[in-house]
Structure 1
Amino acid sequence: MDRIVELQRQLVEYTTSLYNEGFLDDQFNQLQQLQDESNPDFVVEVVSLFFEDSERLLNELANSLEQQSLDFIRVDAHVHQLKGSSSSIGAQRVQRACILFRNYCEVQNVEGCLNCLQHVKHEYSLVKSKLETLFKLEQKILAAGGTLPMMM
């Protein structure tokens, strides 16, 4: 039982740090509140779709930015889509990086767009890693026979 309590404490501390460091915002909390016994994997499924969609969009962005004649409208559409999906799961730092990226698209600054792509990729890989760690911790608690603590 002590092991479960310790894992639950770790989960609460880790989740709190994700909010405090700006990786997640209240939208993630709202997503968690939609999960119940009838759909216990809801958050993992939604976030997994976000990962798939984001990786596709990041690849499309990289390809678009390598084109000889750059279509800023298309690049901006991809960034807008990534911003929306990151916002829908509460990935705040990815969303903010996309807002900056869109500003460079608007002024058609190629160098700024290339730098922002790297920044968005970095923030995405950080939040992906953090969420994967969060889900593994939740699985450890459930596998040990515990229940997930109520968050925020």
Structure 2
Amino acid sequence: MLGLGMDRLRADMNRLLALLFHQGVLDEQFLQLQQLQDESSPNFVSEVVNIYFHESEKLLKNLRALLVEREFSDYKKMGIHLNQFMGSSSSIGAKRVRNVCVAFRAASEQNNRAGWVFESFGAART
């Protein structure tokens, strides 16, 4: 009986992953990450993804703090946070997040705060 439940769970997970790939949320890097999981580390992928979410939360808080400053001028610091976020997103295959980081970084390099606002609204719809 337990085997049937696990089979159903595995099938649901595979359908969800297929959807995420189809929508461009994930890329082939996530598949490579999955290949690193084996019997000696059966929770490898979930541990890496949990670390990614934890670190992403910190980076997003830092980015938000920079964006809400009235007299914002530290574009270099913004770029550093975006590079970190882009790198970690690339390493786990979070394609859509990485693409948003690239757009924000381009706006940051041009010292274009209005571009960040535009990209954030545009990225939310893609």
- TM-score (normalised: structure 2): 0.85
Pairing of 1:121-136 with structure 2 (within 5 A): 122=124
1:100 partnered with 2:103: yes
Q: Distance in 1 between matches of 2:68 and 2:19?
A: 37
Query: Is residue 2:101 matched to residue 1:72?
Result: no
Q: Distance in 2 between matches of 1:108 and 1:83?
A: 18
Secondary structure of the corresponding residue to residue 36 of structure 1: coil
User: Could you tell me how far apart the structure 2 residues matched to 1:5 and 1:41 are?
Assistant: 18
**Which residue does 1:37 correspond to in 2?**
39
CA distance in 2, matches of 1:40, 1:2: 20
Tell me the distance in 2 between the aligned counterparts of 1:8 and 1:45.
18
Map of 2:56 onto structure 1: 54
Query: Where do 4+ consecutive residues of structure 1 move more than 4 Å?
Result: 1-4, 117-120
Aligned to 1:63: 65
Give the gaps of 5 or more residues in structure 1. 124-152
SS at match of 1:48: helix
Percent of aligned positions that are identical: 39
Q: Hey, what's the Cα distance between the residues in 2 that align with 1:22 and 1:101?
A: 18
Q: For 1:29 and 1:63, how far apart are their aligned partners in 2? A: 34
Structure number with greater CO (CA < 8 Å, separation at least 6) is 1
Residues in 2 aligned to 1:6 and 1:42: alpha-carbon distance in whole angstroms: 21
- Equivalent-residue separation in structure 2 for 1:84 and 1:119 (angstroms): 21
Contact 2:82 2:105 in 1 (8 A): yes
TM-score normalised by the chain length of structure 1: 0.72
Pairs aligned (count): 122
